[in-house]
Every structure is written in structure tokens, then in C-alpha cells.
Chain A
Amino acid sequence: MNKEQVKKLFLGGLGLIALLYVYFSFFLGPLNKSRDAVQAKIKDLQTKISTSKAEISKAAKLEETAHSATVRYDALRALSPEGAPIAWFPPRMKTFLSTHQIDKGTTRLETNSACKEKELADWSRYLWIIDLPQADFESLGNAIAQLENTNPLLSIKKLRIYAATDDPELQKAVFTAATIIYKK
């Protein structure tokens, strides 16, 4: 090889290096970058799709298992009629007591507050004082039994029954009932 040829080879080598650099940096590089980005997006979406499918089937299963809870929840919610409890609870108690031959009775609201449990954020606790100045013990017992059996969200917290001085056949009764009522 003569000097001219060596020079040409050297220049050729340099040209090749430049060509490879341009090829890898400006042609293949962006293409690979784009391909990697697409692959990453595909992987991400595939993960999302598979977890979503799992979540959809989980929700469907939950829908089946929660059926009884939903029915029960609706039934419990239906125990709270529309309107302010102070408007409907005392008349309801009056009607209820009159069906047990307890005609004289007053129901008044003592306190109401939000339930402490976070699951019961949509429910409020009401404390009512039910005052019965004339009640026959047997009728009262029957009334309390039916009240407790038909109102699952009602619980008697305090109860006082004592002899009425004017009529020995009748007793006076005062009880505090706590109710859990759905906030409409």
C-alpha cells in the first residue's frame, strides 16, 4: 500500500465511524427510543387491563355476595321515613302506644347526634324520652316487647316504672329510647 492508499483508508475509516455515529444516534436511536416507549406503554396498559379485569370480576362477585347485605341495608333504611324525625317519631309512638291501651303518653326529643362509627356516617342517633303517666304493667310489658321486636334500631337505655299514687291499678313509666335514624 502506498501513502495515498493509507490516507484514503484512514479517511474511509473516519467516514465509517462518522456514518456509524450518525446512524446510531440520529436514525436507530430515536427509533429504538420510540419502540421502547411503545413497549412500556403496552406493558403499562396490559397491566392496567389485567388488574381492571380482575377488579371487574371481583366487583361482580362482591355484587353477588353483598346481595343479602344490600337487601338488609335497604330494609333498615326504609325504617326511617322521609322528613325530620321529630315530626314523625312522636306521632308514631302515640299511635303505637294507643294500640296497647296506653292512651296518655308524651314523647319528646332529648338529644340527637351523629353516630361515632365511621360506617354510620349517614346515620344519626336520637334519644327520646317517653313519658307514660298512666300505664297498666301488663300492657306496658306487651308494648315494650313489641316495640323492641318491631324496631330493630331502637334500644331502651333507661327505664323507670313506679306506682302511681292516685290509682293503685296503674303505674307511671318513663323510658329513654335510643334510635338510629338514616339522614335523608
Chain B
Amino acid sequence: MPLQLNLLHEEILQHRQRQRDPLKLSLYAAIALGALLMLNYLWTGYRVLQGKSRLNSIQAEWNKIEPKVTAAQKRADELNGIIGTTNALDGYIETRFYWATFLEKVAHCVTPNIQITSLEGVIEDDKGLVTATLDGVAGGREPRSVAEDFRQMLLEQVGKEQPTVKVEFKTLEDLDTTVAVGGSNETTAHFVVTVGMEPFPKAATPAPTEHKARPKKEES
């Protein structure tokens, strides 16, 4: 192996030592780290600016929408109020009791030998009950059976629309007076009939239906 002489040995060593100087290396590392941190800072700053610009555009969109949504909320509240009121009024309308229909039924049941002298009807809203009291006079050979026929006919007529109806005698008594019916004198009986019905039971409210009262045609 040939002998090699390195005459620059010391110079190279010094150069290497200079290169490996920890202070210098730390300085480089610090500069690199500083650059990285600066880049990171700039990048973060850029993202913040980007976010702010996005926020501005969203804020502008919100500013456009906000009056609309406020108006929409107000209108929705108003409409819900209207719907609620209309439903409540419809409920009131649908649960009305039509007296004209009832009077028509009564008129159908009154035969020539029956005279109604008084009719009194009451609606008890809290109980959902309708009661009517009919005071009258029945004339005939057997006035009590005439009154009973009237009661049964009334039960049948009213019961067609009101299955819960109850028609009962409150009073039925013979009278001393006689009346002329069809040219002959007949004995009379005084009666009081009560009609009780529950057209709109509280437990099961019926579905809304078109229930119109009809004008009565017959006279009692």
C-alpha cells in the first residue's frame, strides 16, 4: 500500500471542527425552526382570514334570511292561531243541538187528539245533555193509551237520530173535563212527558258531519 501524506490534515480538521460547531448547528436549527414556525403562523393566519371571509359571506346570507324567517315565524304563529280558532269554532258549530229538527219530530207525533200546551227544552252544556218537557192533554175513549201512543211515537221519531233518547212520563192523570174530537165528546188525560238525550257524548265525540236543521212543515 503506497504511503499517502496529507499535508492539509490540520486545515481539514479545523474545517471539520468549524462545520461541527454545535453553536453553529444550533443556530441553523433555530433558523429552520423559526422559519417553520413563521410558515405555520402565516398558514394559520391565512386560514383565519379565509374563515373570516367565509363568516362574512355567511353573515350576509343570514342578514338576508333573518327578516324572512322572522316574518315566516310570525305568520306561522298567526296561522296556527287561526287554525286553532277555526277548529274550536268548528267544534262549537258541530256540537250544536238543532231544536228545529226536534220540533219537527214533535209536530209529526202530535195527532188531532193530542194537544201540547207547553214545551220546554234545555241544553246542559257541562253534561252534554238535552232535556225537553212536553205538557199536554190527550183526548179519546182511552186517553191514557192515546198519551202512551204519543210517547211511543215520540220515542221512535226522536230515536231515529238520537239513539240515546229516553222518553218518559212524568205525569199522567185523568181529567174530569171532556173535549169534542171529530164531533164526539171524549174524556181527557193530562200528561207531562220528559225527553232526555245525549246528542254529543263526552267520551266519544262524533266526527264532524253536515247536520242541517230542516224547517218543519206540520203544525201542532
Contacts and interface: CB of A to CB of B under 8 A. Distances in A.
A140 B218 CA distance: 11
Contacts, number: 195
A42 B98 contact: no
Interface string B33-45: 1100100110011
B33 to A, nearest CB: 7
B103 A141 contact: yes
Interface in B174-220: 212-220
B215 A5 contact: no
B147 to A, nearest CB: 17
A94 B93 CA distance: 23
B62 A45 contact: yes
A158 B121 contact: yes
Given A42-B58, A159-B121, A59 B51 contact: no
Interface of B is mostly: helix
B12 interface: no
B87 interface: yes
**Range of interface residues on chain A?**
35 or more
A32 B44 contact: yes
Size bracket, chain B contacts: 35 or more
Nearest to A155: B96
Contacts of B213: 144-145, 148-149
B51 A122 contact: no
- Smallest CB-CB A-B distances: 4 pairs: A145-B100, A141-B216, A59-B72, A52-B69
Given A31-B44, A156-B99, A161-B120, 14 more contacts: A9-B22, A28-B41, A32-B44, A38-B48, A39-B51, A42-B55, A49-B58, A58-B72, A63-B79, A69-B79, A70-B79, A73-B85, A141-B216, A163-B118
